[in-house]
Amino acid sequence: MENVLDVKVGVFMSKLIAKNPGESEFHQAAKEVVESIMPFVEENPKYKHARILERITEPERVIMFRVPWLDDKGEIQVNRGFRIEMNSAIGPYKGGLRFHPTVNLGILKFLAFEQVFKNSLTTLPMGGGKGGSDFDPKGKSDNEVMRFCQSFMNELYRHIGGDTDIPAGDIGVGGREIGFLFGQYKKIKNEFTGVLTGKGLEWGGSLIRPEATGYGAVYFAEEMIKTKGDDLKGKIAAVSGSGNVAQYSVEKINQLGGKAVTLSDSGGYIYDPDGIDNEKLAYVMELKNIKRGRIKEYADKYKVKYVEGERPWKEKCDIALPSATQNEINEEDAEALVKNGCVAVSEGANMPSTPEAVEVFLKAKILFGPGKAANAGGVAVSGLEMTQNSMRLPWSREEVDNRLRMIMTNIHETCVKYGKDKSGFINYVIGANIGGFIKVADAMIAQGVV
């Protein structure tokens, strides 16, 4: 017989799917949270009476807009821009912008939804939002990227502000794009405020923000491993992606005595059994951030294996740090990781594991840190950038890094508090979902039916 809670989740999800057709990633993210939280809501009727689950899955506001721009040939291009303002119960909307050809409403709603819980877990006063465009920065000149960003901001500026909604980077949006977006906002509004995070150090950015997501995901992995009385020394790490999150994950693994052996991009992955040391990492940073080349070039340069069209999960590793994109670890990948002795997965990316993959990790009882906990270091340091902007005082590298480390440790403790079962197993999925939910839900109740 089906359990009553399963039936309730089923009914809730049927309504959500009917109301948000075709948004498969949003359905996936919502289902995971609703499954985790339903028992807690049933035990705490105040959340049921206030219909928090119904309200928290409905964005406060969705903005969609046309982004026309001129390419280098003088031809007109048209993209679509979005900003999802998901929840402002505990602070202004906060979350990144993604520029990638696959971007659509459902993907951004999943990301904005995850962001609400993630931001709550950081303990900082930030609501949740996400935005972006189906613009593809690949193969575009700097001038084309600038013209696109300016056009994007020509509309976005009316919806954001330092106390309203503060965007940042995500896939396809790094320091270059934040610069162009900030310049245009400043020109339109004639004000220099902390309206975006991930800014350059000379103009209001925070030390450690570029590093924060990757460092944070490795700190989280370390906290998980510590619960087994172990540390990262000598551990072999499989990392996917080769952008912002992947690069600084490798840097922190190296600092903590581990060895990263893989990196990837949408073309394939490299496997370097000797480890991606700091010198090779500097090459990757130059290749990806300046030359904007492909990871295959690493294999050509260092004469290591390159596997086209594949992801690195079948390589033997102790820890996995998926740092590219959603649904990049499927059931078969998860089984291969577990079979090869992987003891911890710390999600640098947002929702990189499919529900089937998560099931495999939880069944095998390995340490599984879901993205909303493990990759919260990025937005946490964005929050610290906002604090410094408000104070008009920059903090030292050490100060920001110490705070980041403390925040990741606190998030880990929250997951343990709400996710540890009677047998002592820590279900970080349940821990992160309930831990992130409570503060937002209580704030929503306190603020009435709005």
> Is 88 a residue that touches ligand NDP (CB under 6 A)?
no
Binding mask 227-256 for ligand NDP (x = CB under 6 A): --------------xxxxxx----------
Q: Which residue is nearest to ligand NDP (CB)?
A: 243
> Is 167 a residue that touches ligand NDP (CB under 6 A)?
no
Site for ligand NDP in 378-417 (CB under 6 A): 378
> Is 94 a residue that touches ligand 2IT (CB under 6 A)?
yes
For residues 219 and 214, what is the distance between their CA atoms, to the nearest angstrom?
9
Handedness of CA 28, 164, 79, 268 (dihedral sign): negative
For residues 333 and 363, what is the distance between their CA atoms, to the nearest angstrom?
15
φ, ψ dihedrals at 286, nearest 5°: -65, -45
> Is 197 a residue that touches ligand 2IT (CB under 6 A)?
yes
Binding mask 95-114 for ligand 2IT (x = CB under 6 A): xx------------------
Residue closer to ligand NDP, measured from CB, 81 or 241: 241
Q: For the packed helices 105-121 and 24-43, what is the interaxial angle rounded to 10 degrees?
A: 40
Binding mask 368-387 for ligand 2IT (x = CB under 6 A): ----------xx--x-----
> Is 149 a residue that touches ligand NDP (CB under 6 A)?
no
Sorted by sequence, the CB contacts under 8 Å of residue 382 that are 6+ apart come out as 94, 126, 166, 168, 197, 198, 206, 209, 212
Q: What is the nearest approach in angstroms of ligand 2IT to the Cβ of residue 243?
A: 11
Q: What is the nearest approach in angstroms of ligand NDP to the Cβ of residue 171?
A: 4
Q: Which does 245 bind (CB under 5 to 8 A by kind): ligand NDP, ligand 2IT, none?
A: ligand NDP
Structure tokens that stand for 57 in this block = 């899955």
Site for ligand 2IT in 158-187 (CB under 6 A): 168, 170
Structure tokens that stand for 399 in this block = 């100060």
Residue closer to ligand NDP, measured from CB, 216 or 431: 216
Q: Which does 124 bind (CB under 5 to 8 A by kind): ligand NDP, ligand 2IT, none?
A: none
Q: Which does 94 bind (CB under 5 to 8 A by kind): ligand 2IT, ligand NDP, none?
A: ligand 2IT
Q: What is the nearest approach in angstroms of ligand NDP to the Cβ of residue 268?
A: 9
For residues 319 and 158, what is the distance between their CA atoms, to the nearest angstrom?
43
Options 26-34, 144-152, 170-178, 433-441: segment touching ligand NDP (CB under 6 A):
170-178
> Is 349 a residue that touches ligand NDP (CB under 6 A)?
yes
> Concatenated DSSP letters for 114-126?
HHHHHHHHTTSS-
Angle value at C-alpha 184, between 179 and 185, nearest 5 degrees: 100
> Is 324 a residue that touches ligand NDP (CB under 6 A)?
yes
The residue behind tokens 């007109």 is 76
Site for ligand 2IT in 312-351 (CB under 6 A): 350
Secondary structure E strands in 134-250: 165-168, 236-239
Site for ligand 2IT in 113-142 (CB under 6 A): 115, 118
Sorted by sequence, the CB contacts under 8 Å of residue 341 that are 6+ apart come out as 316, 317, 318
Q: What is the nearest approach in angstroms of ligand NDP to the Cβ of residue 225?
A: 21
Quick one: three-class SS letters along 320-376? EECCCCCCCECHHHHHHHHHCCCCEEECCCCCCECHHHHHHHHHHCCEEECHHHHCC
Beta strands at 76-87 and 61-70: parallel, antiparallel or unpaired: antiparallel
Give, for 256, the enclosing helix (H) or strand (E): none
Q: Which residues are catalytic?
A: 130
Structure tokens that stand for 56 in this block = 């928290």
Q: Which does 346 bind (CB under 5 to 8 A by kind): ligand NDP, ligand 2IT, none?
A: none
> Is 106 a residue that touches ligand NDP (CB under 6 A)?
no
Q: What is the nearest approach in angstroms of ligand 2IT to the Cβ of residue 207?
A: 15
Structure tokens that stand for 322 in this block = 């998926």
Site residues for ligand 2IT per CB under 6 A: 94-96, 115, 118, 168, 170, 197, 350, 378-379, 382
